[in-house]
Amino acid sequence: MATPQRAETVATRPGDTVELPQPVVGSLSPSRASDFKTCPLLYRFRTIDRLPEPPSRAAARGTLVHSVLERLYDRPAAERTVEAAHNDVERAWRLLLESEPDLASLFADDSDGADLSAWLASARDLVSNYFELEDPRRLEPAAREELVEVVADGLRLRGYVDRLDISPAGDIRVVDYKTGAIPREAFEAKALFQMKFYALVLWRTRGVVPRVLQLMYLADSSTLSYQPDADELIRFERTLHAIWKAIAAATATGDFRPSPSRLCDWCSFQALCPAKGGTTPEFPADALAAATRDRRAARAKVEPEL
């Protein structure tokens, strides 16, 4: 079983110790781990080559709705109404454009503004659907857009949780908003991968297994809830370490294979993918060098500076 980072100590003088840092040889987020599981080549393009991807209206709308729902809880409870949230949509879009000016290209050919109006209206519809799932006036989240992070056996696990609710008894509910529709049963495990990742990190950092993992699907006002237990989180942690090992092995050789599936239809890198008749660029030499350094660091015994 992997354990959270605990600094090793050595004695410098009788009674004194200094902490030795544990080398961190890898880092995983739920989305990057999921990329590798879906298609190793997709992982490579996104994480190693860091190739830019064109913005999409669907992804931008997801960011916009998340931002509106996060902001909703800045208001006093009585003011968390659907009208207030609707009013926030345009303001949130302006702020998003300021932070990511490239998004303006999504509506570059929308000369009469009709597409943008329809798109903003669809964002307001998703916000309305959220209010069918719960009454935000009755909730006081413990955290929103919370960075959760832990290092266990040299692997850093980190991600952002949409919302954490904590009951007076200390029970934790992890909430994630999805702007799509609830997946069919066969795809529930894939949907829960990200939530188990957060549950594991929260357990390792707070010492409490979250009571409920809750996905809120705004397109069809549905909820998927799951109660994790410690045993399955231990198994899940092993899975994450196995994924990281596979990533490290692929990085050491530059061998990231395509794994075609129906998700290829949404992949931005089809022109670079041999499974789609494209040509893959050469593996970046600096990634190979970094992989070699990481392997050495993992093997090295860290010597204290006394």
Task: Name the site residues for ligand SF4 (rule: CB under 6 A).
Answer: 39, 41-42, 258-260, 263-264, 267, 269-270, 273, 275-276
Three-class SS state of 284: coil
Using the minimum distance from each CB to ligand SF4, give the nearer residue, 99 or 279: 279
What is the C-alpha to C-alpha distance for residues 291 and 287, in angstroms, rounded to an integer?
6
Tokens of 272: 């670079």
Q: What is the CA radius of gyration of the chain?
A: 22
Least distance between ligand SF4 and beta carbon 34 (Å) = 12
What is the C-alpha to C-alpha distance for residues 28 and 8, in angstroms, rounded to an integer?
23
Using the minimum distance from each CB to ligand SF4, give the nearer residue, 19 or 53: 53
What is the C-alpha to C-alpha distance for residues 158 and 47, in angstroms, rounded to an integer?
15
* C-alpha distance across the termini of the chain, in Å: 32
Least distance between ligand SF4 and beta carbon 26 (Å) = 21
Spatial contact of 18 and 12, defined as CB atoms under 8 Å apart: yes
What is the C-alpha to C-alpha distance for residues 21 and 12, in angstroms, rounded to an integer?
15
Least distance between ligand SF4 and beta carbon 149 (Å) = 28
Least distance between ligand SF4 and beta carbon 251 (Å) = 16
Using the minimum distance from each CB to ligand SF4, give the nearer residue, 34 or 259: 259
Longest dimension (CA), the chain: 78
Using the minimum distance from each CB to ligand SF4, give the nearer residue, 265 or 303: 265
Length, in residues, of the chain:
306
SS (H, E, C) 152-216: ECCEEEEEEEEEEEECCCCCEEEEEEECCCCCCHHHHHHHHHHHHHHHHHHHHHHCCCCCEEEEE
Least distance between ligand SF4 and beta carbon 282 (Å) = 16
Using the minimum distance from each CB to ligand SF4, give the nearer residue, 48 or 155: 48
For strand 172-178 and strand 8-11, is the pairing parallel, antiparallel, or unpaired? unpaired
Least distance between ligand SF4 and beta carbon 37 (Å) = 12
Using the minimum distance from each CB to ligand SF4, give the nearer residue, 26 or 258: 258
Using the minimum distance from each CB to ligand SF4, give the nearer residue, 2 or 267: 267
Least distance between ligand SF4 and beta carbon 192 (Å) = 21
Could you give the C-alpha distances from 103 to 109, 266, 279, in angstroms and in order? 13, 18, 28
Using the minimum distance from each CB to ligand SF4, give the nearer residue, 5 or 268: 268
Least distance between ligand SF4 and beta carbon 165 (Å) = 35
Three-class SS state of 90: helix
